[in-house]
Amino acid sequence: MLLQYDAMTSRGRSSYHESGPVHLTGSGSWKTVTFEMPEAWLGNGENQGADFRIRFYGPKLPVSRVSISVNGLEDVVYPTPNARRQALRDLKMQRATSVAQQALGKWEASTGGVETLQAGLSDESRAFVRPLLDAARASESRLREVSALNETFSDDGKLRSHILAVRDNAELLRNCTFLLEQKVATQDFVRSCGKGKQSWIYFTQPAIDNVSVILPWTLPDASAVNAPIRIQLCRGEFEPYGIGLISSGVVRHVEVRPTNLHGPGGAILEGQHVDVRIMKRWYQAGHYQEVQTGRELVPELLLYDDSLVKADLIHQKNDLGFEGTPKDATTLQPYDLEPLYTKFLWVTVRAPDDAKPGVYRGSIRVVGSGVRDLVVPLQVEVLPFELEENPMIASMYYGHSVGGATGADLERYRRQLVNMREHGLTCPAFQGDRRELALRKELGLNKGPLLTHGGFNIGKYMGRDDYTDAEVAEVKAVVDHFNALAEEFGYDGAYLYAIDEASGEKLEAEVPVFRLLKKLGGGAWAACLSDFEDIAATDLQLPVYCGFPRKELVDKVHAAGHKIMRYASPQGGTEDPWQYRYFYGLVLWELNMDGGCTWTYQHAIGNPWNDFDGDGTYRDFMMTYPGADGPIDTVQWEGYREGNDDLRYMATLEKALVDAASQGKASAVVEGVKQWLADVREVQAFHGENLDAVRARIVANILALRRGFDD
């Protein structure tokens, strides 16, 4: 467990600054823990205006009592309560003055670098830096004014107003100082890359890994500068990569032009199969979690039109270039590259279904007004085998329905379904009608069971097992109806939704209904919490387990003849593509589960384009965002697709292993691959791994098994 508190650190405001952690031993006895809170600001910056919170890793633990003391006050005996209150006011005043002096000192220390920065910029480029300098100087002036007060406040309201003025201006000055320092560092980096001659550079890196968050001031390793892009993929597959652009001056009208790629025997992979979008950074109410944890700049949106969203880095807010629902372009639009900030491009290559296997070579040309072209070499290897279908149930909660949609509304809905299919989501939850099922079948979104929402009132039958003939007939009619729909539209059976996240007595009361459904040829599915293992592990036909079940639980569910999926950890919308790639990809294989189904494709607490208008607890759950012509993709959604592809590669490897063993090929290779897979499953070895490297090893093993050679 640890303490998270609202602080003002040397880097600026940190509403969830951490103290701890404390590791508990499980002795079952009470333990007293003291958390220190250096640089505490306590300006009500956490969820619902809190100043601090206790965070638990693992199960929540009982906390008997929390007491707070202020160093320097507790050991002093004051003659009156008023004298003690005044001492606390004086301490707050001292703290505010100290915060102001720290911010001013940081700014003063950076002025030399800022002067050098300005001297190295053209007049046109200085115009991009001037608002930052103006904001810094204005906040400096106001901060000097309020911090120069030598007044003893005896009124709490006036003291609070003074402290808020110090806080706001200190935050702004610290932020401006930080941004200017990053520009200085970026200027030095660009000069070092080109020995002072290059005005702009590019770097490349994998789009999805477990270490990188590309922000406007992120600088790459020098080895990534001018590096080519190399991609392996199978026919019909999408594969992402990243290009970063950094310029020492403003570059107007930047365009990105993929060339055709030339392959074996004169084969051509046309440039239209290389999609390029801008990875847009904007301010959200958190990062990595579905709950609000404070304002953060995060990479998320993948846009063709850079003007749709702009992040104001100075005042840390979003400026939307639209009202209502945005209409993105269909190809990357020209944009201006701001000096000394990193712009990141998300490149997705698709190999057509009829692409000839082999290596294709071409480039991505980046052009701008008044500068030399950047040419990014692009090598794409189309692998000589077909990917197996994902053997898992690739599902997600989905609350949209086609309803009576026509025209543009129907086309938007259809594009959502196409978007799901292209990202490997082939069995979304269902709460519509026959029209919707027909669309899903047409587009291939019927891979797995029909997971229904609605149409069955389980509460009517809970808590007993003595059903009348009429009640049995009612339930059988519902079961038969959905089973018939499943058969008609090509699903592998149908499941009725039970109570969401039921536990304890409520879950126990559902068990007789689960048994009745099974007797009548049906089944139930629902999100489950940890006590599901003790209550309904052998009765609920398709549990969607919250988190990561133990192997023993998975085996227990399978032994009962049922399937089990996982849910949450994370829920939809946290801006971390690696988490979705692993937690809804290879971890399902490692745990021997049958699929994944998290909440949700799109669900906004308020306006989906404003993460700060919710109830103060949860953030919007957005794997994609609603656009006027269809969904707008995100980095987390691309991570989800890569996870599904990883499962397809693993299924292809397992088939190749069976085929090679049955043909008596390459016994050393067969045994080596078997042992590797067994070892991985035993320890969940892919957690925290470079999943591109894991994919490459799977590919190498597939090719080795197909060749039948000993290594």
Q: How many CB atoms lie within 10 A of CB 123?
A: 6
Q: What is the pLDDT of residue 569?
A: 87
Supply φ then ψ for residue 519, to 5 degrees.
-60, -30
Kindly state the average pLDDT of the residues 338-344: 96
What's the CA gap between 108 and 252, in Å, rounded?
Answer: 33
What does the DSSP 8-state code read for residue 135? H
**Any idea how long the chain is?**
711
Band of pLDDT at residue 196, cut at 50, 70 and 90: low
String of b and e for 160-173 (b: at least 16 CB within 10 Å)? eebbebbbbbbbbb
Kindly state the average pLDDT of the residues 224-246: 97
pLDDT single digits (tens) 80-108: 989 988 988 888 888 888 889 999 999 99
Q: Between 50 and 673, whose confidence is greater? A: 673
pLDDT single digits (tens) 172-192: 999 999 999 999 999 999 999
Mean per-residue pLDDT over the chain, rounded: 92
pLDDT single digits (tens) 430-445: 998 899 999 999 999 9
Band of pLDDT at residue 57, cut at 50, 70 and 90: low
Cis before 570? omega within 30? yes
Q: What is the pLDDT of residue 708?
A: 62
Longest dimension (CA), the chain: 94
Q: Between 148 and 121, whose confidence is greater? A: 121
**pTM: predicted TM-score of the whole model, two decimal places:** 0.91
Q: Which two tokens stand for residue 301?
A: 């949106």
What's the CA gap between 692 and 577, in Å, rounded?
Answer: 13
Pairing type for strands 494-497 and 450-451 reads parallel
Whether 710 shows a pLDDT value over 60: the answer reads no
CA 449 to chain centroid, in Å, comes to 27
Whether 166 shows a pLDDT value over 70: the answer reads yes
Whether 391 shows a pLDDT value over 90: the answer reads yes
Helix (H) or strand (E) holding 187: helix 156-194
Band of pLDDT at residue 197, cut at 50, 70 and 90: low
pLDDT single digits (tens) 256-280: 999 999 999 999 999 999 999 999 9
Q: How many CB atoms lie within 10 A of CB 492?
A: 14
Kindly state the average pLDDT of the residues 680-709: 88
What's the CA gap between 275 and 293, in Å, rounded?
Answer: 33
CA 554 to chain centroid, in Å, comes to 26
pLDDT single digits (tens) 552-606: 999 999 999 999 999 998 999 999 999 999 999 999 999 999 999 999 999 999 9
Kindly state the average pLDDT of the residues 22-39: 86
With 0-12 CB in 10 A as exposed, 13-18 as middle and 19+ as buried, what is 449? buried
Q: Where are the alpha helices (DSSP H) in 612-690?
A: 635-662, 667-683
Q: What is the pLDDT of residue 41?
A: 79
pLDDT single digits (tens) 409-422: 999 999 999 999 99
Kindly state the average pLDDT of the residues 647-669: 90
Band of pLDDT at residue 60, cut at 50, 70 and 90: low
What does the DSSP 8-state code read for residue 316? T
User: What's the half-sphere exposure (Cβ side, CA atoms, 13 Å) at 212?
Assistant: 19
What's the CA gap between 267 and 261, in Å, rounded?
Answer: 8
